[in-house]
Chains A and B, each alone.
Chain A
Amino acid sequence: QVQLVQSGADVKKPGASVKVSCKASGYTFSSYYMHWVRQAPGQGLEWMGRINPRGDGTNYAQKFQGRITVTRDTPTSTVYMELHSLRTEDTAVYYCARDGNNWNFDSWGQGTLVTVSS
Chain B
Amino acid sequence: QSALTQPASVSGSPGQSITISCTGTSSDVGAYNYVSWYQQHPGKAPKLMIFDVSNRPSGVSNRFSGSKSGNTASLTISGVQAEDEADYYCSSYTSSVTWVFGGGTKLTVL
Chain A interface residues (CB < 8 Å from chain B): 35, 37, 44-47, 50, 59-62, 95, 97, 100, 102-111
> Smallest CB-CB separation from B32: which chain A residue?
A103
- When A44-B102, A45-B101 are in contact, do A105 and B48 touch as well, CB less than 8 Å? yes
Does A47 contact B45, Cβ atoms closer than 8 Å? no
Does A44 contact B89, Cβ atoms closer than 8 Å? yes
Query: In residues 68-110 of chain B, which contact A (Cβ within 8 Å)?
Result: 89, 91, 93, 96-104
Does A44 contact B103, Cβ atoms closer than 8 Å? yes
Chain B interface residues (CB < 8 Å from chain A): 1, 3, 32, 34, 36, 38, 40, 45-48, 51-52, 57, 89, 91, 93, 96-104
Contact of A105 among B36, B97, B100, B102 (CB under 8 A): B36
User: Closest CB of chain B to A16's CB: distance in Å?
Assistant: 26
What's the Cα separation between A37 and B40 when bound, in Å? 14
Does B89 contact A105, Cβ atoms closer than 8 Å? no
> Smallest CB-CB separation from B99: which chain A residue?
A47
Chain A residue numbers with a CB within 8 Å of B91 are 45, 47, 104-105
User: Closest CB of chain A to B54's CB: distance in Å?
Assistant: 12
Does B36 contact A108, Cβ atoms closer than 8 Å? no
What's the Cα separation between A44 and B45 when bound, in Å? 12
Chain B residue numbers with a CB within 8 Å of A35 are 99
Does A45 contact B38, Cβ atoms closer than 8 Å? yes
User: Closest CB of chain B to A2's CB: distance in Å?
Assistant: 11
Contact of B98 among A44, A61, A102, A106 (CB under 8 A): A61
> Smallest CB-CB separation from A106: which chain B residue?
B48
Does B101 contact A102, Cβ atoms closer than 8 Å? no
